[in-house]
Structure 1
Amino acid sequence: MNDYIQKFIMQRKSYLAPDSVRYYEENLSRFNKWLSLSKLNILELTSDNLRQYIIYLGLTGIKNVSLHTYYRAVRVFCSWLYQEGYIDIDITQRIKLPKDDSEIVIPLTKDDVAVIDQYIINSELALRNYCIFHLFLDCGLRRQEVINLKTDCIVKNTLTIKNSKNNKSRIVLIPEFLRLSINNYLGKRTGIVFLNRYEQEPVTENTIKKLFANIQNLPGMERVHAHLLRHTFATSYLYYGGNMEMLRLLMGHSSYTILQNYVHLAAQEELIGSGLYELDEIFFKNRRKN
């Protein structure tokens, strides 16, 4: 890989989560291959070269939403080249991308969750998988946050999420029903919360993927994945009266930009009234006292 890309990745490794580092490695490796095929010097890139790369990505047949994802890593890298003084011009300015063609996200309803819960509690490893599913849904956790969760992070009705995305930590509320379920699953065991079927090793990405692959086999549940549960958490929180600042803290976002998507989804639910899943009372105690 190009020396400048390697230097960029090394800097990111000092403060980004492993998943974020992999995102940059994969997408900048793709960009580096294109540079080699196009016989372009990374320090002589122009805005037109970036536009050519966008056209190249489009010709591969990927959706525009994926193109946006691939290009975002390149944009951050090229901005870094400029900020570090390796190039004299910020070539990322005035670059237009194709219109985002991502599909409308439909959060889970109360009925959806009831169907999934019924499936989980009647399946193998029911209690463990029930807790995993509801940490995504009722706490808004990310995949690695669930996998890395330790028992000492659970204190009464709070979870301390340590060194998550961008190495940030935060406090998350946990409903009583879920805390009790986790306690029942753990017994007297301490350490990593979720273990594999033999209770010898922590669960992995594949464990989570298999759980959701099984859920997707249920009628009408093909769209269900871990991140949809996080979407549902955020949408439900706003729909039922939560505020933006608290949601930003609960989800671990550094700005309000991404939260605007959830505002749109909450407004969509207000319009169509689809029976959106309702979060636990713990998230709204202060609001409902006023």
Structure 2
Amino acid sequence: MSKLFNNYTHSFFAYLQIEKNSSVHTMKNYRDDLEQFFVFMNEQHIEKLSDVTHQDARLYLTTLHEKKMARASVSRKISSLRGFYRFLMREDIVNENPFLIVHRPKGTKKLPSFFYEEEMEELFETVQETDPLSIRNKALLELMYGTGIRVSECTGLTLEDVDFHLGVILVRGKGGKERYVPFGSFAAEAVQSYVELSRLNLMKNSNHKVLFVNYRGEPLTVRGIRHILTGLIEKASLSGKIHPHMLRHTFATHLLNNGADMRTVQELLGHASLTSTQMYTHVTKEHLQKTYMNHHPRA
């Protein structure tokens, strides 16, 4: 990144971290997006951020399309630059935001992938053994499916975050927001068994309070959970690929299919906006249509 922009970007990332409480992943995306735009500025011989015009912004959008980038990636990059210039205006570094009226491409809506209840039963059948890792995997599967928490939220759980008496976990979500999420008897029994029978065995010489650990007693990572779930789906002989977010999608879809209201699901998932939760209505409508076609005598 050019030295010319170091002071501005340093202040911007401090703003994102302190005021916006952005995640590490979000900060990395912003950094990548800004660096790519600065390369464009050098190619166009634009020396100052204040010299970027609306025409330059549109030209940059065109170059992104010419590189055959996905719509979602292009949209994010424009959003990043719009936010960066909004910050520069707030700091009186520039007078206008050239990306303000650049239209972001609308991404194609993909229905969230989820497991049917029968498939979940098959997954649970793979974790019925009594060795320490199977006990841990069962607790992991039950808790993620039973609460719908994000995989990053799961890796951040500590022993103190689990309240077996009240049947809730304290979850630290995006932007440092905290919420309490209830869990049922299946998850409670599985996690309690893991804590009492398996975790101490796995900890060995480690000493920390992170709930889920690997075979060396170290905190389980996002990558580690993905590896565990991939192993379970292969063991269950289910088709397709699994990613940790599928359990979150499954949690929400099964709740809505069984009559839960949208606002409750939104709160349980920790969505800031109801719009994020509404994507699951497409899945539940598909489920209703399939049920109707299979069971109504005049379908």
Q: Which structure would you say has the larger Rg? A: 2
- Class of the TM-score when normalised by the shorter of the 2 chains: 0.7 to 0.9
Using the TM superposition, give the Cα deviation of residue 99 of structure 1 relative to its aligned residue in structure 2, in angstroms: 3.9
Partner deviation per Cα, 1:5-49 (whole Å, 9 max, x = no partner): 222111111222333323323333333333333333322223333
Q: Which residue of 2 aligns with 1:16?
A: 22
Using the TM superposition, give the Cα deviation of residue 229 of structure 1 relative to its aligned residue in structure 2, in angstroms: 1.9
Q: 2:251 & 2:114 partners in 1: Cα distance?
A: 8
SS in 1 for 2:209: coil
Q: Which residue of 1 aligns with 2:189?
A: 180
Distance 1:97 1:113, change over 3 A: same
Structure 1 residue 5 corresponds to structure 2 residue 5? no
Aligned pairs, number: 272
CA RMSD of aligned residues (A): 2.7
Structure 1 residue 68 corresponds to structure 2 residue 72? no
Q: Residue 160 of structure 1 is aligned with which of 149, 154, 170?
A: 170
Structure 1 residue 36 corresponds to structure 2 residue 42? yes
Q: Which residue of 1 aligns with 2:53?
A: 46
Is the contact between residue 170 and residue 178 of structure 2 (CA under 8 Å) also seen in structure 1? Answer: yes
Is the contact between residue 212 and residue 219 of structure 2 (CA under 8 Å) also seen in structure 1? Answer: yes
Is the contact between residue 170 and residue 181 of structure 2 (CA under 8 Å) also seen in structure 1? Answer: yes
Structure 2 counterpart of 1:207, one-letter code: G
Q: 1:30 & 1:233 partners in 2: Cα distance?
A: 38
Using the TM superposition, give the Cα deviation of residue 216 of structure 1 relative to its aligned residue in structure 2, in angstroms: 5.8
SS in 2 for 1:210: helix
Q: Which residue of 2 aligns with 1:26?
A: 32
Is the contact between residue 142 and residue 186 of structure 2 (CA under 8 Å) also seen in structure 1? Answer: no
Q: Which residue of 2 aligns with 1:128?
A: 136
Structure 1 residue 261 corresponds to structure 2 residue 279? yes
Using the TM superposition, give the Cα deviation of residue 102 of structure 1 relative to its aligned residue in structure 2, in angstroms: 4.7
Is the contact between residue 151 and residue 193 of structure 1 (CA under 8 Å) also seen in structure 2? Answer: yes
5+ long unaligned stretches in structure 1: 275-290
Distance 1:143 1:244, change over 3 A: same
Q: Residue 248 of structure 1 is aligned with which of 266, 276, 287?
A: 266
Partner deviation per Cα, 1:120-139 (whole Å, 9 max, x = no partner): 44698222222223333221
Q: Residue 204 of structure 1 is aligned with which of 206, 221, 231?
A: 221
SS in 2 for 1:187: helix
| Structure-1-length-normalised TM-score | 0.81
Structure 2 counterpart of 1:206, one-letter code: R
Using the TM superposition, give the Cα deviation of residue 166 of structure 1 relative to its aligned residue in structure 2, in angstroms: 0.5
Structure 2 counterpart of 1:181, one-letter code: A
Is the contact between residue 215 and residue 221 of structure 1 (CA under 8 Å) also seen in structure 2? Answer: no
Q: 2:284 & 2:57 partners in 1: Cα distance?
A: 36
Runs of 4+ in 1 over 6 A off after TM superposition: none
Distance 1:151 1:222, change over 3 A: same
Q: 2:144 & 2:76 partners in 1: Cα distance?
A: 23
Q: Which residue of 1 aligns with 2:97?
A: 90
Q: 2:185 & 2:72 partners in 1: Cα distance?
A: 38
Q: Which residue of 2 aligns with 1:287?
A: none
Identity of aligned residues (%): 21
5+ long unaligned stretches in structure 2: 201-207, 293-299
SS in 2 for 1:160: strand
Distance 1:58 1:172, change over 3 A: same
Distance 1:192 1:13, change over 3 A: same
